[in-house]
Amino acid sequence: MVIFNNDTETEEEQEEISDHQAAMVMAAMAGGPEGPEPSTIGLVGDLNEESAQELYHGFMQLNGGKVFPNPVEEGEERPDDVHFLISTGGGAVYDMFGVIDVMNIVKRRRDVATLGTGKVFSAGVPLLASGTKGKRFVTRNVRIMMHRCSTASMGTTADMKSSHDEMRLMEDQMVQVIAENSKLSVGEIHNMFSKNTDEYFSAEEAIEMGLADEII
């Protein structure tokens, strides 16, 4: 995990960042050891077991190190938002659901503002849409892509059938998450997926579909 402060790293220090660390960026909003706690986390690259682990740790760190934080009580000031930068070609559906679940835990105390930039493909779309309503942003030139789940299964015929059944279950679950966090209905998403093609959208179209709230 990489934490950036206002005192930016030298080029030599940046070169020392490993590939998997660079894929998961933790950024502090203001600098130095005396500054406020980091409030920005990023997924830049594929979502896999390693990058998901970095996100879990990062979200929990931003949540005071607590796995199960207490909800904000009446009269208590809500902590500053967590900012989640997303630029990804997608990845593993299990890890996507894990990150969304952790985001929902964090949202008990802090709003999670999502920002999609560059490319937000596949598993990245539910992550973007799962931010706090009204605080889901995309940049002007972002490209959004949605498609159905896929799997490469091996083994016996029974194994492959089991894998296929699991894939369909995960796809239904992903459709439900998107529908709950957008203006798209379950039927509309299934119809889109039934084309068996990658469906690309602009920032404006993402707003129209309710996957994001504002272009910045």
Instruction: List residues with catalytic annotation.
Output: 122, 147
Q: Which of 90, 196, 92, 155 is nearest to 163 (CA)?
A: 155
In the chain, the amino acid numbered 132 is: T
How far apart CA 15 and CA 8 sit, in angstroms, is 13
CB 115 within 8 Å of CB 71: no
How far apart CA 216 and CA 116 sit, in angstroms, is 10
DSSP annotation of 91: B
| Residues whose CB falls within 8 Å of the CB of residue 106, separated by 6 or more in sequence, listed in order | 59, 62, 63, 69, 82, 112
How far apart CA 129 and CA 1 sit, in angstroms, is 24
In the chain, the amino acid numbered 123 is: A
